[in-house]
Amino acid sequence: MLKRQPAFFEATFTTKHRPSLEGGAWKNESSQDFFIFTSPFGTVKLRKREGYPATFMRSAGTKLVFGYGNEQLGHVAASQPLGNVPEEVFVQEEFLYGYADSEHQDVVIQRDAACVLPLFVREQDEAVVLSNRYDQLFNGVDRQQVGINEDALVNYLLFDDRHYQLAIGTDVLYDRVRFTLSKGVIQVLYPNDAAIATKNSRVEVHPRHFKDALEAVFDTYWERYGNVGFQVSGGLDSATAPGYFASQGKTVIAASFGLPAVMGELQRNKLADMERRFPLLNNFVIDLTPEEYFPFSDRIIAEHWGISHEHQDLHQQAAIRMAEYFSSQGITAMFTGVGGDELCQNITNDMIFPTSTKIVAARNSMPLPEYVTEKFRDLHKSLDRSNQQDRPVPATAYSVILTNIGFNNTFIDRNVWPVAPLADPKLFLYAQTIGAWHRHDKGLLRAYQFARQFPSSITHPETLEDFSEFLHLCKPQIGGLLDSFFDNSMLARRGLLHESSFKAYYRDCIDASYDASDTRILELIRLLTVEINLRAYQ
Q: Indicate which single residue of 311, 321, 426, 498 sits in contact with another protein (rule: CB under 8 A).
A: 311
Residue (278 or 371) nearer to another protein, CB: 278
Binder to another protein among 33, 466, 487, 508 (CB under 8 A)? Answer: 466
Among the candidate windows 72-80, 180-188, 405-413, 478-486, which touches another protein by CB under 8 A?
405-413
Contact range with another protein by CB under 8 A, out of 68-76, 106-114, 204-212, 365-373:
204-212
Residue 214 contacts by C-beta under 8 Å, 6 or more apart in sequence?
A: 240, 427, 448
Amino acid at the residue 286: I
- Shortest separation between residue 243's beta carbon and another protein, angstroms: 11
Window contacting another protein (CB under 8 A); options: 23-31, 118-126, 402-410, 490-498: 402-410
Nearer to another protein, 48 or 446 (CB): 446
The residue (of 178 and 311) whose beta carbon lies closer to another protein is 311
Choice from 24, 207, 229, 290 touching another protein (CB under 8 A) = 207
Cβ closer to another protein: 21 or 359? 359
Touching another protein, residues 252-291 (CB under 8 A): 257, 259, 267, 277
Which amino acid does the sequence have at 249?
A: G
Residues within window 123-162 making contact with another protein, judged by CB under 8 A: 159-162
Nearest-angstrom CA–CA distance, 58 and 35: 9
Enumerate residues 6+ apart whose C-beta is below 8 A from 273. Answer: 455, 457, 458
Q: How many residues bind another protein (CB under 8 A)?
A: 73
Segment contacting another protein (CB under 8 A): 49-57, 104-112, 173-181, 518-526? 518-526
Contacts for 488 with CB less than 8 Å, ≥ 6 apart: none
Question: From the list 45, 178, 315, 426, which residue makes contact with another protein (rule: CB under 8 A)?
Answer: 315
Site for another protein in 12-71 (CB under 8 A): none
Chain centroid to CA 278: how far? 30
User: CA 67 to CA 69: how far, in whole Å?
Assistant: 7
Q: Which is nearer to another protein, 74 or 339 (CB)?
A: 339
Residue from 71, 443, 503, 509 touching another protein (CB under 8 A): that is 443
- What are 132's strand-pairing partners? none
Long-range contacts, stretch 184-189, CB < 8 angstroms, 24+ apart: 184/15, 184/16, 184/17, 184/105, 185/15, 186/15, 186/123, 186/128, 188/121, 189/82
Q: Which of 59, 415, 468, 477 binds another protein (CB under 8 A)?
A: 468
Question: Which residue in the set 88, 370, 389, 437 belongs to the binding site for another protein (CB under 8 A)?
Answer: 437
Q: Which residues contact 102 (CB under 8 A, 6 or more apart)?
A: 21, 22, 23, 24, 25, 26, 39, 40, 41, 42, 62, 63, 64
Could you tell me which of 517, 398, 463, 447 has the C-alpha nearest to residue 235?
A: 463
Of 242, 194, 162, 198, the closest CA to residue 455 belongs to: 242
Q: How many CA atoms lie within 13 A of 493 on its CB side?
A: 10
Q: Which of residues 332-351 bind another protein (CB under 8 A)?
A: 336-338, 340-342, 345-348, 351
Site for another protein (CB under 8 A): which residue of 294, 398, 502, 537? 398
Q: Considering only the stretches 19-27, 93-101, 394-402, 476-484, report the one whose residues sit in contact with another protein under the rule CB under 8 A.
A: 394-402
| Interacting residue with another protein among 78, 166, 525, 528 (CB under 8 A) | 525
Measured from the CB of residue 198, what is the shortest distance to another protein in angstroms? 19
Tell me how crowded residue 244 is: count the other CB atoms within 10 A of its CB.
Answer: 23
In three-state secondary structure terms, 125 is coil
Cβ neighbourhood burial of 3 (10 Å; 0-12, 13-18, 19+): exposed
Q: How long a stretch of residues is the chain?
A: 538
Residues 218 to 247: which contact another protein by CB under 8 A?
231-235, 237-238, 247
Interaction of residue 330 with another protein, rule CB under 8 A: no
Q: Does 514 sit near another protein (CB under 8 A)?
A: no
